[in-house]
Amino acid sequence: MPYNTQQIKRDQQNSPIPQYFNPTTDVYEALLGRNGANRVELYGPDGNPIGTTNGKLNVRASEIETLLAGGLPAALTAGGGLKVGVVDALPAGANIVGQVKLTDGTDGLLINTNGSLNVVPVNSAGTELFTAGNPGNVQLTGSIESITSAPAVGVKTVTATAAEIFAEASAKANRRRLILKNEDPILRFRIGPSTVTQQNGFPVEPGAVIEIQFDPVTAVPIYAISEGANLSVAVMEI
C-alpha cells in the first residue's frame, strides 16, 4: 500500500517520532541511530546498496584481491616494512628511485633527498675511504700555503749557457715553490723554459729575489742563463 495510506508512529505524548516508510513491510518503522546521528546505508553508482564483508565495506574489493592474489611476503625488512621487489621495468621518463640494492643485499646506489647521487669513495682495493678504520689521504692540488717537508737549498753557478736550475742534484719532488736570489752585485741573469736566451728570458736584477709557485703534482723545469760572465744564484725549493 502507498505510504500515505498508513498510520505513522507516535510516542506516548502522541507526537510523531523520527521514522521512515519500509515499502517491503508496508509500514512506518522507527528511525534508529547512534552517537547523535541516524543510521545511513550507502548506495553505489548503480543504485544498489554497497554490501559488507566481515564488517568491512565491499569497495573495490575485487581489484584489491586481484592485486594481492600472490599473498603478502612472509618476511619483513629490519625496520618492519614489507619487502617489495621490482618485477616490471620502470616506465619511460623521469623516475625517482630512493635506493637500489645489489643482489647480495648491500647498498648499491643511494639517492639523496635533493635528487643527487650519493657516491661512496673507495680505494683501488674497493675499500671504502674516509672511515674511522680507513681515513684515506687527500691531495690538495695547487696548495702552497704550508711546508710538508724540509726545503732544499743550495748555491748554483749560472753560466752563459741555459741550464735547469735547482737547489741540489736535481729538482725537488713535488715542490711548491722555487725561490732564486741573484747574488751578483753587477750582472743579471734570465729565467724561462729550456729555450731561454740572454735576450728573451725574464731578467733577475743584481741582488733581486724571485719566487715561482708550482702545482706540486706537476713537475715544471725552470732554466737560467747569465747575461755575461758566470754568477752565483742562491736557490731554495719548498
Q: Do 112 and 170 belong together in one domain?
A: no
Q: Quick check: 156 and 233 in contact, CB under 8 A?
A: yes
| pLDDT tens, N- to C-terminus, the chain (238 residues) | 688 889 999 999 999 999 989 988 899 999 888 888 888 888 888 888 888 888 777 776 666 777 666 665 556 666 666 666 656 676 777 666 555 555 555 555 666 777 677 777 777 777 777 787 777 666 665 455 677 789 999 999 999 999 999 999 999 999 999 999 999 999 999 999 999 999 999 999 999 999 999 988 899 999 999 999 999 999 999 9
Q: Quick check: 158 and 222 in contact, CB under 8 A?
A: no
Residue 84 lies in a domain: no
Q: Which helix (H) or strand (E) holds 61?
A: helix 61-67
φ and ψ at residue 203, rounded to 5 degrees: -80, 145
Residue 144 lies in a domain: no
CA distance 107 to 134: 19
Residue 82 lies in a domain: no
For residue 52, what is its C-alpha cell? Answer: 559488507
Read off the DSSP letter of residue 129.
P
Residue 12 lies in a domain: no
Residue 32 lies in a domain: yes
Beta bridge partners of 122: 128
Domain carrying residue 56: 1-6+17-72
Q: Do 132 and 180 belong together in one domain?
A: no
Q: What is the pTM of this model?
A: 0.44
Domains of the chain: total: 3
Q: Do 166 and 229 belong together in one domain?
A: yes
Q: Do 62 and 122 belong together in one domain?
A: no
Q: Do 51 and 115 belong together in one domain?
A: no
The alpha carbon of residue 3 and the mean position of all alpha carbons in its chain are separated, in whole angstroms, by 72
Residue 157 lies in a domain: yes
Q: What is the tally of helices (H) and strands (E) in the chain?
A: 1, 17
CA distance 228 to 177: 27
Residue 207 lies in a domain: yes
Residues 6+ apart with CB under 8 A from 168: 152, 154
